[in-house]
Amino acid sequence: MGRAHDTAPVLVPIISTVDAVSGLVIASGFSGHGVGIGPGSGLLTSQLATGETPCVDWSPYRLARFSDGSVIRRPELPDAGAGHRQRSPPR
């Protein structure tokens, strides 16, 4: 049985204003990483929403990166079995 993941196509979340809709800011595609990066992504999202100067360069997270000709590279993922020991099921 499959399962769904909330991820961006390149595994980098989208934290962005939306050019077509004034005032709309989205933060999506974290696939569970939102818990770990929640404080930083929350701060960046709030800064974009309020017009404050962003705390970091947010260009890697822009929604428009998928349509403006930006070079997009999906991060290399390690082999799922490499370096992992198979665990015995619990008794």
Give tens-digit pLDDT for 40-70: 999 999 999 999 999 999 998 999 998 998 8
Instruction: Tell me the C-alpha distance between 35 and 87, whole Å.
Output: 26
How does pLDDT run across 4-52, given as a tens digit for each residue? 666 777 778 899 999 999 999 999 988 777 678 889 999 999 999 999 9
Instruction: Tell me the C-alpha distance between 27 and 61, whole Å.
Output: 9
